[in-house]
Structure formats: C-alpha cells, structure tokens
Structure 1
C-alpha cells in the first residue's frame, strides 16, 4: 500500500498531536521528517519515534526529495510564507488555521494556492471533521430544523491556560482571529451562507495584559448573513470549568445544539460533594477525533486526487469575518463585508 510521506513543521501542542497522528494512527501516511526552530523538540521526536529526518530550518526540509507533503503547524505569523514555499517546492500542503494574520497576505496565499491546482491544499478547520458537527450538518441539510435563521456559538478557553494565551498574544492576531475564527467558519458551513455585516464588542475584564496588544480577554460579535440569517458569537479566555465549545442552530421548524455541556465522558460522579460530571480540559481532548479525521482526509485526498472539503477560500472568508469583527471592535461601528 502506498504511503504518503509527510514532513511537519512546528512541534508545539497541536503540531505534536498532528505528528503523532501521522506517525502512529494513519496507515496510509508516514512521518518522514520533523522541523522546529527549537532543536530539543526535533531531537526528542526523532529519538523517541525513530523519525529519519530532523531540521531546524524549514527551507532545508523542503529540499528533501523523500517527502510528498508538508504539514504546517508553526506560529500563525509563518503560515502564509511557508504555504507558498511548500507549494512552490512541489509539495501537497496541509496548514493549520489561520491562513494568515493579515488580509493582504491571506489574499496572497489564495493566489499562490490557486496557482498550483494540481497540488492538494487543505486548511485545518478541524471542527468540520468532528462527528457531532458532521451529524448536525447532515440533519440541517435533511431539513430536520427547517430553514436555519440563527446560529449561536460559544468558544471559551480554560482559565488554566491563560498564561499561554498571554505569551502568544503578540502573534495571535487577536481574539476574533485566533479563537472565534473556528466559529465563523462553522457558521458559513452550517448555514451555507456568507457574512454580510458584523458588530463586535469586547474588553479586558480580568487580564489587562491583552490590552497592550489591542486585544481582549472576552469578546462578542453579532453578524448578519447574506441570506438574512443571524449569528451570535462569544469568545473568551476565562472558563472556570474546562474548555467550553457550544453551538446552537435555530431553524424555522426546530433547533439543534452541539456541546451544551462539555462532558469529559458519560460518567456521572456522586459523593459527598454532590453529583457531578467532569468536563474536557482543552481543545486537544475535545477534538481528538476531529484532528485525526482531518489529517486522514488530507492523506486520502492526495491518494485519490480529490479536492479537500476545506480549502483556501474557507480560510479567506473566515479571516475576512474575523478582521471585520476586529475592526468593528476597535471602531465601535458596524462593518460591512464584500
């Protein structure tokens, strides 16, 4: 059986998870090379997993003719540049979101991707590959809730991860680009509609450190879509009970919800503290299956020469929504999207 040989750049929390999936959970893929600007990360993965090639320079990895594809899990600021370099070098490319942190470079990335139609490009909006969201999409398409008229999305990171969020704030692009972009993409996908206008607000209620980056610890946005549907979005960094991602779609004949309570599993605990259910503690736990499914989708698209379900246009449109929300937050005005 043919295996797709993949080189990955970025070995942080998410980069390492993707690397593990490629190396150990995808029979049709092989982790052939790893790259990080932190030598210790490369050395550890090579020694522990027996990976043949290790690099601290992305350009050097792209010279490796034993590779078929590149997985980009580096800092958001590097995505556009590395996407262009990998495609120009002849590789298929998977890139984590966001497509970029500026609209100019995002549009440039679109041009680059469209310049190489013979190569597979997939963007990492993993929630589209989560079984519950896939099920909800099918129910909406089958008409179970009638015509969708409103989507409500909550995305709240655990407060236990606040130090990491503050450290990353300078490179994140802000709350709406770094966090709410997943919900913006979901809204386009579940409603099958593009955004028309957005009004956003936010503030540093507890962690003033974000303010020096023009960012907030909590923000909300109201959107109207071109088909008239409405969207309510909340993103925050102070969830006390774990990692809370919740989505509700209301239609003309019903509604559905995904993740109303972020249960860790189906176990209910009862003791002197009462009756409780533990909650998931982070995105790697909540979307473990989705991360595996999206990389499997990428590999299968290469093997079958099919267009991925999530592409560069999805990155452009969701980024435009995030930037419009950020602009609205800063100006206090409604922003209209083209």
Structure 2
C-alpha cells in the first residue's frame, strides 16, 4: 500500500481534528504540511503533530511542500479558489462543507473538478460515514421501510456556545447556510430526490442579537422534492443540555429514528441534583468516528484509484438549497429551487 502525503489548510476546531486523524490514525497516510494564519496553530502542528513544513501561505504549501493531496478545512469563503488552485497544481483534494458560498463559487469548483478527471475530489459530508446514518441508509436500500417519503431533521447547537454564534451571525450567511447543509445532504440521500421548493420561518425569543443581525435564533423549513417526498428541518442555537442532533426517516412500512439522548459516555454522576449523565458538548464529539472514517476513505480512494459516492455536484445542490431556504426566511414566501 503506497503512502499518501497530505497537506492541510485550516487548524481550527474541526481542522485540528482532521489534522490529528491524518497524522496518527490513518494507515498509509503521512501529514507532511500544514497551513494556518495563526502562528500558535502552526507551532502546535510542528510540536505535537511533528509536521516539518508549516506556512501561512496556502499557495506556498501547495507549490513547495512534498505532498500529493490537500485537505481544505479553511473558512467557507476560501474553499472554492483553494480547490481550484490545488487541482490545477495536480493535487487530490478533500474539502469540508460547504462546497462554496454562492452558485458562482460552486460552478468554479465544478469546472476545476471537470478539468482534472484524473484527480480525486472528496466532499466532506461526514454524516454519510456515521455508523448510525450509514445503517439507516442500508436499511432503506434493503427495502425495510418501504418507500421513504418524509425526513424530519433536528440540529441544535448548545447554549454554551451561543456567544460565538452571535459574534459571527452577521458574516456566517445565517443559520440555514451555516448549520443546515448536512441535513439537506442527508435528506437528498435518504429520499432519493432533488428539492424543488422550500418554505422557511424563524423565531427569536432568548437572544435578540440574532434578529438584530438579520438572522434567527431558531429556524424551521419545509422542503418539497421532485419525487413527491417532503422533509422538515429544525435548527437552533440554544439547546440548554448540549449539542443535539436527530433524524427520522418515515416510510410506508416503517420508521427509522437516529436519535436518543446524546450521552457523552456511560458515566453517571450522583450528587445533590440526583443521578445525571454528561451530554455531548459539540459536533466534533458527536461525529468523531464519522470524521475519521471519511478521511480514511479519502486516503483509500487515492490508493485504490477510486472515486467516492459524493461528487462536487452534491455540494452545489446542498448550497443552492440552503440559500433558497435563507431567501424564504427573509422574504416570508415559498422559494423555488432552480438548478442551473
């Protein structure tokens, strides 16, 4: 098995997870280079990850480091030009969601992927790699639910992180763009159709700063698909107990619910409040296994000269849907989703 040499850009909360996976947990992979605008993150990469080539210049890393693949975990507005630059330089590319922040950006990424069919492009919708979601998909494909016709998805960030959400709400694109693309991807995956129309609304009762920033504290949306199926979305930022995500697939013969109480572990604390268990605090904890499994598959795809199921076009479609939901939220009217 050949060794795949990788460089990573972005060493923040999620980037550090991917960096550690690439450095220590994936057979046949060697993390050779790291790029960040934060010197303390580069120092961490050199000291803790034993990465020799560190830089604040992405192009310098792509051009000069001894790598054949790039993992892009930078801020969302940087994704598409970085994808294009790496592919044009002859590198395989992994990029975290979203693909882009506009249709124009997504088309730029599509064109780069199409120019380089010999290079691997891998999109990081990691929930497809989560064992529970993967099992739900297998059950659907095996006909265990009959015809799936409804998906109900909930994704709630913890109240403990709300100040960070407030700080970035004016520049994040809004809650649907920031938090709903994984749910939209799962809806398309489970229902086997494309979104044709969306209607969205939002409520803000606890933190008026969201409304002042043109965003919402809690968002809801209904999505119609071209095969007659439907989906409901509920995203929020004030879960008092911790990070909370769940998905239900309703079929003609059965329901599948990927949920349950999001226990952090099996430890039970007995104190003045009674018997309590800690709750998962954030998405890196909940999807730690999925993040590892998707990166394992990225490396295997390179080694085996195999293309992943997810394509660049899946990224474009998820982006278009989240923007349509955001438009509906602001206009208060249903919005048609047009794939151009």
Q: How does 1:220-231 map to 2 (within 5 A)?
A: 220-231=220-231
Q: Which segment drifts farther, 42-51 or 95-104? A: 42-51
What TM-score do you get using the length of structure 2 for normalisation? 0.96
Q: Can you list the C-alpha shifts for 1:21-63, whole angstroms capped at 9, x where unaligned?
A: 0000001111100000112211221122221100101011111
* Secondary structure in structure 2 of the residue aligned to 1:63: helix
* Secondary structure in structure 2 of the residue aligned to 1:98: coil
Q: How does 1:124-139 map to 2 (within 5 A)?
A: 124-139=124-139
When residues 31 and 170 of structure 1 are mapped into structure 2, their CA distance, relative to the original with a 3 A threshold, is farther
CA contact (8 A) 1:71 1:93 kept: yes
CA contact (8 A) 2:20 2:49 kept: no
Report what 2:218 is aligned to.
218
Q: How does 1:10-25 map to 2 (within 5 A)?
A: 10-25=10-25
Partner Cα separation in structure 2 for residue 36 and residue 65 of structure 1:
14
Report what 1:311 is aligned to.
311
Q: Is the aligned partner of 1:206 residue 2:216?
A: no
CA contact (8 A) 2:3 2:28 kept: yes
Shift of 1:307: 0.8
Shift of 1:261: 2.0
Report what 1:273 is aligned to.
273
Q: How does 1:137-176 map to 2 (within 5 A)?
A: 137-176=137-176
Report what 2:193 is aligned to.
193
Report what 1:118 is aligned to.
118
Partner Cα separation in structure 2 for residue 287 and residue 40 of structure 1:
26
Q: Is the aligned partner of 1:76 residue 2:88?
A: no
Partner Cα separation in structure 2 for residue 127 and residue 135 of structure 1:
11
Q: Can you list the C-alpha shifts for 1:214-267, whole angstroms capped at 9, x where unaligned?
A: 222210100111111110000100011111000001110110100232122345
CA contact (8 A) 1:247 1:260 kept: no
Report what 1:48 is aligned to.
48
What TM-score do you get using the length of structure 1 for normalisation? 0.96
Instruction: Provide the alpha-carbon RMSD of the alignment.
Output: 1.5
Q: Can you list the C-alpha shifts for 1:182-221, whole angstroms capped at 9, x where unaligned?
A: 1000000111111111000113332233335422221010
Aligned length: 338
* Secondary structure in structure 2 of the residue aligned to 1:172: coil
* Secondary structure in structure 1 of the residue aligned to 2:162: helix
Partner Cα separation in structure 2 for residue 171 and residue 256 of structure 1:
36
Report what 1:94 is aligned to.
94
CA contact (8 A) 1:68 1:92 kept: yes
